[in-house]
A and B are shown apart, each in its own frame.
Chain A
Amino acid sequence: MNIAYTEAEEAFRIRCRDFLETVLPPGWGTPAHPVPADAEERARVGLWWEKTLYAHGMAGLSWPREYGGQGLSWVEEVIFAEECARAGAPSGINGLGKGLLGPTLLVEGTDEQKRRFLPPLLAGDEVWCQGYSEPNSGSDLASLRTRAELQGDVWVITGQKIWTSNAHLADWCFVLARTDPTVPKHRGITFLLVPMRQPAVKVEPLVQLTGEAHFNQVSFDGARTARENVVGQVNDGWRVANTILSFERGVTIVGRYAHFMREWEAAVEAARTQTGERGPLIEDSHFRQRLVALWSEIQILRFHGYNVITQLQQQDKLGPEASMLKLFYSEMHKRLGDLGMDILGAAMPYASGMDSVGGGTLHRAFFQARAETIFAGTSQIQRNVIAERVLGLPRDQRS
């Protein structure tokens, strides 16, 4: 055992810090320079961030150089993610492309697909969205009904997608569509890459509980994409999609603990200013207990991360840990969000009070955590997966 980064890795960390210091405006991530409240402004910042990363050779760190990446390893990805979280760097706008589509193409894509799609993805020239969920197919994703038919050299796609994050900003969508309705549901699905900017694709915003519209309803009404824009084999899309689900649930989580630490620190800060019957909440045993319990869980997330890095280095793949990490971090984050609200106390009910204590961080964490236990497989689904695939409990006949 040796929980240490190599000298080269530590040098890389310094490079990350220097980079972040150079490109982020002074005071970024502090109350002096808060995250923009306006969603459009945040989207602009998100796109600027993608382009800045690319321009400085900080995009696609672990991707091969020939596709615009940096040819480094997962460890550098994790170190950079950690440093970004620590600095409160903005979220890029292409997270789904980088976290899901890219890794899938690297495994399942043809050389041509990789050459065509990866460089503009990394450069922030093409933004991606994920078209999986449908109004009647969420947790039971494989029941999806969006159809794709090959007409000559073109796929024609018809159906409804929903909750599609960033669809309003996206140039491309990776879509799961049914290509063979006659076979059992998992077998007739194909993974397609579909251009968003065409008349047969309609995007209607859906307002989230935060009051902002990040996700959308997307209708494909005879939308078209070229025959070669299939990833993997026709009717093998379920397997292809599952290659990346484990990336989504696993690797992208590592490094996030640094982000949770910032939120935790905001909660501690708030506990110093908010008072209860016996003085500052920070001196109240109830809040001390909960703050320390959450600090512990955030540290444990960091340790889980070391475990993931070790596994990726030793075996180059992730097992069921991915489901475990997803469940662990999202449920923990919910408790952290709730704690923040309890600390704010009488200030909690004011959305405008979001900036008075904690710079809005606590309210954002509180809301964000509600999404995290739903997207990328709900907590209930993660528990099913752990029980059935890890512990070997008998499967539900229907699933």
Chain B
Amino acid sequence: MDFNFSSEQYLLRDAARDLFSAIAGPAGARSAYREKSAVVERLRGPLAEQGMLGAGVPEEQGGSALSPLDMALIFEASGAALLPFPLLETYVAARALSRRPASPRQERLGPALAAGGETATVAWGSPDGLWTGAGVQAVGSGPVRLYGRRTFVPYAAAATVVVMPVEWKQAGGIALVLVDPRAAGTEMVALESLDGSYPLYALEFHGAVLADDAVIGYGRELFEEMRITAWSALASEALGAAEQAFSATVEYVKVREQFGQPVGRFQAVKHTAADDYLLVESARVANRYAAWAISQGGAEAELYAALAKAYASDTARTVTSDAIQLHGGIGYTWDSDMHLYFKRGWRIAAELGTPVQIREKMARVVLDGATPRRVGAPVGGGDA
């Protein structure tokens, strides 16, 4: 029984932490609030140099092929540093592509993502609000055209390529495809993002042509797998953000004095902190198990990724809210960093399903006995 990361994995995390805090951190996140997707330009180089953009790309394609366990630690670090970059989207897109590159264009894309020559994002949102992959239809033949709308496309303005599911009757339901967000017949709409370090867009398709080499795969599986991987990654980011806000808060209540003593001596403050600590440490083991389950492939992955996503989300919501509360008035200012973590935590919690929505899905497995989806063999080595 070894339920811990290896020392190499912790070294990797330390390197990621150093890198992310050097290029991002609260100051970096604030610049994204102002510059929106433009901030991506500056971060792309250093991230590519350190192999972070090739994490989901196989080694033979120039990637670093990191395991889901490695990534659990890396996304914890990116969450903690409020990294304003589509790192998660790049990772899951690359993983989806690497499973079965279906065209020369797709074969070239992996290495380009790893090197930072191209940047990917994922068009996650469906207008039904259920993250189902619905909302855009592929119709006709020679050429196939796209109609409809996808919401929740992070950093779209910085992306050269978008991975998204489309409904496609002739092809048997649903397919995962690549689109160029600037192609004719495609409109990019900038939306106002609650988490300003995570600029959001909608993509509207008015007959954009789906290129012949754009289909990554048919069927729901690929999209679902992408979502399972993203659940675990989001859970890690949520934990990272929660933990960072929490430790800043603990340090603050040690030095802030009222009634002639540090406020951290008041039991009401102590007990809130202790409860939050419990949440953080519990999210940590939940995330660890989810990453392990994904690295093993198989039927457990979806359920435990869901558990981790829901639990870490609840944790991030509570802990970042308490962080504001325990800072008092200063915690409610724009100058305090607490709102950056708070907004990030709540945004992550809503992304790809709120805790309530995800528990509804889990209920079908743990209460109704539905069989969870199997996840295919992992990319880049399964274990540890």
Taking Cβ atoms with an 8 Å cutoff, the residues of A that contact B are 1-5, 9, 75, 268, 282, 285, 288-289, 291-293, 295-297, 299-300, 303-304, 306-307, 309-310, 313-314, 324, 327-328, 380, 382-384, 386-388, 390-396
| A1 and B363 contact, CB distance less than 8 A | no
| A288 and B273 contact, CB distance less than 8 A | no
| B274 and A396 contact, CB distance less than 8 A | no
Inside 8 A of B273's CB, which chain A residues have their CB?
386-387, 391, 393
* Alpha-carbon gap, A393 to B277, bound state (A): 13
> Contacts A383-B270, A393-B250, A393-B270 known; A303 to B277 CB distance under 8 Å?
no
| B282 and A292 contact, CB distance less than 8 A | no
Inside 8 A of A285's CB, which chain B residues have their CB?
360
| B359 and A289 contact, CB distance less than 8 A | yes
> Contacts A306-B285, A324-B278 known; A393 to B3 CB distance under 8 Å?
no
* Alpha-carbon gap, A394 to B265, bound state (A): 5
Give the number of A-B contacts (CB < 8 Å). 137
Interface of A is mostly: helix
Contact with A393, one of B2, B253, B285 (Cβ below 8 angstroms): B253
Contact with A304, one of B270, B271, B285, B384 (Cβ below 8 angstroms): B285
* Alpha-carbon gap, A5 to B2, bound state (A): 9
Task: Name which residue of chain B comes closest to A311, CB basis.
Answer: B4
* Alpha-carbon gap, A328 to B362, bound state (A): 22
Contact with B4, one of A282, A310, A391 (Cβ below 8 angstroms): A310
Q: Which of B33-41, B126-134, B286-294 lines the interface with chain A?
A: B286-294
B370 at the interface (CB under 8 A from A): no
* Alpha-carbon gap, A101 to B247, bound state (A): 37
B71 at the interface (CB under 8 A from A): no
| B286 and A303 contact, CB distance less than 8 A | yes
> Contacts A288-B359, A393-B264 known; A387 to B270 CB distance under 8 Å?
yes
Min Cβ gap A299→B in Å is 6
* Alpha-carbon gap, A205 to B276, bound state (A): 39
* Alpha-carbon gap, A73 to B359, bound state (A): 37
Contact with B285, one of A4, A9, A303 (Cβ below 8 angstroms): A303
Jot down 5 A-B pairs with beta carbons below 8 A, ordered by A: A3-B2, A328-B278, A384-B270, A387-B270, A388-B270
Inside 8 A of A295's CB, which chain B residues have their CB?
362, 366
| B1 and A310 contact, CB distance less than 8 A | yes
Inside 8 A of A282's CB, which chain B residues have their CB?
367
Binary A-proximity of B254-297 (CB < 8 A = 1, otherwise 0): 10000001101101011101110110011001101100100000
* Alpha-carbon gap, A2 to B69, bound state (A): 11
> Contacts A2-B1, A324-B277 known; A394 to B261 CB distance under 8 Å?
yes
Inside 8 A of B123's CB, which chain A residues have their CB?
none
Contact with A391, one of B262, B277, B286, B384 (Cβ below 8 angstroms): B277
* Alpha-carbon gap, A327 to B6, bound state (A): 28
> Contacts A288-B359, A383-B275, A386-B278 known; A306 to B267 CB distance under 8 Å?
no
| B311 and A300 contact, CB distance less than 8 A | yes
Inside 8 A of A288's CB, which chain B residues have their CB?
359-360, 363, 367
Inside 8 A of A394's CB, which chain B residues have their CB?
254, 261-262, 264-265
Inside 8 A of B120's CB, which chain A residues have their CB?
none
* Alpha-carbon gap, A383 to B276, bound state (A): 10
| A1 and B4 contact, CB distance less than 8 A | yes
Min Cβ gap A320→B in Å is 9
B369-384: which have CB < 8 Å to A? 383-384
Which range contains the number of B residues in contact with the other chain?
A: 35 or more
Min Cβ gap B238→A in Å is 15
| A391 and B360 contact, CB distance less than 8 A | no
* Alpha-carbon gap, A314 to B6, bound state (A): 12
Inside 8 A of A393's CB, which chain B residues have their CB?
250, 253-254, 262, 264-265, 269-270, 273
| A299 and B277 contact, CB distance less than 8 A | no
Contact with B274, one of A3, A297, A327, A392 (Cβ below 8 angstroms): A327
Task: Name which residue of chain B comes closest to A271, CB basis.
Answer: B367
Min Cβ gap B217→A in Å is 30
| A2 and B267 contact, CB distance less than 8 A | no
| A306 and B3 contact, CB distance less than 8 A | yes
> Contacts A393-B265, A396-B267 known; A303 to B311 CB distance under 8 Å?
no
B86-138: which have CB < 8 Å to A? none
* Alpha-carbon gap, A310 to B1, bound state (A): 6
Inside 8 A of B281's CB, which chain A residues have their CB?
304, 324
Contact with A292, one of B6, B278, B366 (Cβ below 8 angstroms): B366
Inside 8 A of B275's CB, which chain A residues have their CB?
383
Binary A-proximity of B343-358 (CB < 8 A = 1, otherwise 0): 0000000000000100
Inside 8 A of B310's CB, which chain A residues have their CB?
296
| B274 and A383 contact, CB distance less than 8 A | yes
| A327 and B1 contact, CB distance less than 8 A | no
Min Cβ gap A285→B in Å is 7
* Alpha-carbon gap, A380 to B272, bound state (A): 11
Binary A-proximity of B285-327 (CB < 8 A = 1, otherwise 0): 1101100100000000000100100110000000000000000
| B367 and A292 contact, CB distance less than 8 A | yes
Task: Name which residue of chain B comes closest to A290, CB basis.
Answer: B359
| A386 and B274 contact, CB distance less than 8 A | yes
B5 at the interface (CB under 8 A from A): yes
| B367 and A296 contact, CB distance less than 8 A | no
Task: Name which residue of chain B comes closest to A384, CB basis.
Answer: B270
Inside 8 A of A3's CB, which chain B residues have their CB?
1-3, 289, 292
| A292 and B3 contact, CB distance less than 8 A | no
| B384 and A1 contact, CB distance less than 8 A | yes
Inside 8 A of B286's CB, which chain A residues have their CB?
296, 299-300, 303
Min Cβ gap A104→B in Å is 25
Contact with B311, one of A268, A296, A384 (Cβ below 8 angstroms): A296
| B3 and A291 contact, CB distance less than 8 A | no
Contact with B383, one of A2, A289, A309, A396 (Cβ below 8 angstroms): A2
Contact with A310, one of B2, B307, B363 (Cβ below 8 angstroms): B2
Min Cβ gap A75→B in Å is 6
| A309 and B1 contact, CB distance less than 8 A | yes
Inside 8 A of A307's CB, which chain B residues have their CB?
3-4, 285
